[in-house]
Structure 1
């Protein structure tokens, strides 16, 4: 036993001698851990409170605004529009915005950090250059998210033909100011989405009012002497709108050529491009991969399938869509047709023949709101297998009720056929003009539009008839929370643009556009018109998807 104790003694002594060393190492590691954490916490607190220091980056930025409240030196430094918090925006700016901007407000937290000395001119080198033309009477709550979303996808220029609500002074002032004020918002979107700087600069927004001068110019359009659109002339409501859209598209082609655009797309403000199949979430990337011999690209449309009757902002509240016939196996489409239609007239509530984007080239012309054509040749077109147009139709209950007095058509089957091209629109018109109460209309809306049956919904999702798409919702919600939309509205209050001055400049600009066509161009267009007048194809109207009567006539490609 004694020998064993003598044998263990050195071990105990060795352990005692190493104890101070281990204690020192432990304390050192603890110090090295706590020091950076403490510094990080201190930096966070200083940044959160502002630290009483002006941001040095703001000193190098010319286009900036001052935060109201000059008495507070901590807040009286220059910032980009959208970088201030909601509480710092002046009451005057809030009063200048219209009521339909309430959905565009952001959270009360500060927006993303920004940097000085950004190069704002890189957008001019991006290829291909894409423009969108639209005819709209919508409010800012729909137009701004629609424009910014497509700018994220790489669209360069927007031609907005406005009337009704969109042409009111409050809204038009914001739209006119966008080319001026949006440069200051560049970095917000860059930081938000981490994409190419050039894709964030919304520099090309052209607002065209429906004035008497514009109508007189369009009354002289060659379209009135051609046959392809003649079956839609001098009819009310949707037919009148269809002709108006075609005339606006004709003007947009001239503007697109002058602006050096490569592609032109006609899109309504309740439609969003979904560039599935591209290597990145980009319409520019998608069109960059199109073969050079292709003149027109067709995007099949998906239709919104709402799951509630209280939707206020479809772009950020709707994620379920019904897929197009062209993107489904034919046996699945016709096999599930009854469940997908739900006693409505057709598979889709509205149109099912998609939209198209055309390469800007000589002799290009519209072929109705859904297609383009060429006076000198039959366009070489392709249809995309994955990408689509997301159509948010009847997504709000108010979309149904707002049509009560639209067009003034009598609630008879014969009269609504004169006003509307699609069966569901006709049904809505007849029901709206009946003696139904609002409660009865809401019940009708739930039965025909809202997808409330979970069992049927799950079945169609599994079969692929319905699908979930979240990317537009995420992008637009992030843009909204960053303060981009509210900053555009507040920035417009500092501009001096007036509708009178803008119309004067547009009159001069439109005159120059009309004169920009050389006599050679006019002569060649006249020859091509005479050459193709008799054999011209009729304009492509909004068409419903195939019904069960076509089941035996359709084969797989």
Structure 2
């Protein structure tokens, strides 16, 4: 089980969590990180420089030239300046080539507010078993975090409550509500780099997928998504995103799939603190603590303490 495993991530303004992101994933078995900083001279770059297993790529003319060498460039080039997802896909495309050059066996594409979580099997053993099964691409379900307070600095250390993926709790009426999972439900993917030469079969087809037909796991491992955890983090996120379009890539209506994304954009750009607090409390914190505890006992929600415990251990 000598697989060399890497993460590709596009990030911005991650000073509060970048250390935890790198330390946690290194601890559980990831060997390398390709971190694409979406803003030149991002303050968190100085923190990333401390780690020997991190490749730092800034958004500049050199990166733009590398984008042009990818198979995905012609599909996404018109959206580079308006769609963060276009840049994420192009960065992941560049990372597949870098992975080949660095003898990486597996590449996972996640965001800076996500953690890979595998409670029952080590990362190395899990991916080795997939390789033995001749699985070349894997999709993981996502759980979405529920912060239980407004003020959060490092959500990886402070948030431990999660909504289970709808596929696992279909019997509950609540999961049919579009505000049950307010971000995405289609998981995140990893691809086996060593199964093919660099080209069309390795580059992602979107931020969630590397291939059209992927091997799904309806259980652990999973992706823990700490979406907009913290009142200030919510505001900062949507101020950074700005007044984006109502459609993804001028095609798909966002409101029909992720209404919170549009509602958050519109409320936050008005800078009405009372409305933003109401949005945060009703959509992100979701319920009062006693209701949260009841839903944990009902197994709709769950507590996952392991990442917090690992990070506390590494801090000692």
Find out whether 1:310 has 2:145 as its counterpart: no
Q: Residue in 2 aligned with 1:501?
A: none
Unaligned runs of 5+ in 2: none
Give distance in 1, aligned partners of 2:51 and 2:107: 20
* 2:112 alignment partner, one of 247, 265, 269: 269
Q: Residue in 2 aligned with 1:140?
A: 15
Find out whether 1:249 has 2:92 as its counterpart: yes
Q: Would the alpha carbon gap of residues 217 and 287 (structure 1) be closer, same or farther in structure 2, given more than 3 Å must change?
A: closer
Helix, strand or coil: the match of 2:179?
Answer: coil
Find out whether 1:293 has 2:168 as its counterpart: no
Q: How does 1:100-111 map to 2 (within 5 A)?
A: none
Q: Residue in 1 aligned with 2:263?
A: 427
Q: Contact 1:298 / 1:384 at 8 angstroms: preserved in 2?
A: no
Find out whether 1:382 has 2:255 as its counterpart: no
Q: When the two structures are superposed, what TM-score results if normalisation uses the length of structure 1? A: 0.51
Give distance in 1, aligned partners of 2:145 and 2:6: 24
Q: Contact 2:99 / 2:107 at 8 angstroms: preserved in 1?
A: yes
Q: Would the alpha carbon gap of residues 160 and 265 (structure 1) be closer, same or farther in structure 2, given more than 3 Å must change?
A: same
Structure 1 residue 418: deviation in Å?
6.0
Q: Would the alpha carbon gap of residues 322 and 266 (structure 1) be closer, same or farther in structure 2, given more than 3 Å must change?
A: same
More helix by percentage:
1
Q: Would the alpha carbon gap of residues 127 and 171 (structure 1) be closer, same or farther in structure 2, given more than 3 Å must change?
A: same
Q: Would the alpha carbon gap of residues 407 and 150 (structure 1) be closer, same or farther in structure 2, given more than 3 Å must change?
A: closer
Q: Would the alpha carbon gap of residues 383 and 431 (structure 1) be closer, same or farther in structure 2, given more than 3 Å must change?
A: same
The CA RMSD over aligned residues, in Å, is 2.5
Q: Residue in 1 aligned with 2:301?
A: 466
Q: Residue in 2 aligned with 1:117?
A: none
Q: Residue in 2 aligned with 1:178?
A: 51
Q: Contact 1:293 / 1:380 at 8 angstroms: preserved in 2?
A: no
Helix, strand or coil: the match of 2:49?
Answer: helix
Q: When the two structures are superposed, what TM-score results if normalisation uses the length of structure 2? A: 0.87
Find out whether 1:370 has 2:208 as its counterpart: yes
Q: How does 1:476-491 map to 2 (within 5 A)?
A: 476-480=311-315, 482=316
Q: Contact 1:295 / 1:379 at 8 angstroms: preserved in 2?
A: no
Give distance in 1, aligned partners of 2:271 and 2:26: 44
Q: Contact 2:179 / 2:283 at 8 angstroms: preserved in 1?
A: no
Q: Contact 2:33 / 2:55 at 8 angstroms: preserved in 1?
A: yes
Give distance in 1, aligned partners of 2:283 and 2:214: 38
Find out whether 1:322 has 2:163 as its counterpart: yes
More strand by percentage:
2
Give distance in 2, aligned partners of 1:469 and 1:325: 17
Helix, strand or coil: the match of 2:119?
Answer: coil
Give distance in 1, aligned partners of 2:69 and 2:103: 25
Q: Contact 1:308 / 1:451 at 8 angstroms: preserved in 2?
A: no
Give distance in 2, aligned partners of 1:380 and 1:446: 36
Aligned length: 304
Structure 1 residue 254: deviation in Å?
1.0
Q: Contact 1:297 / 1:382 at 8 angstroms: preserved in 2?
A: yes
Structure 1 residue 251: deviation in Å?
1.1
Structure 1 residue 295: deviation in Å?
1.1
Give distance in 2, aligned partners of 1:264 and 1:161: 14
Larger radius of gyration: 1
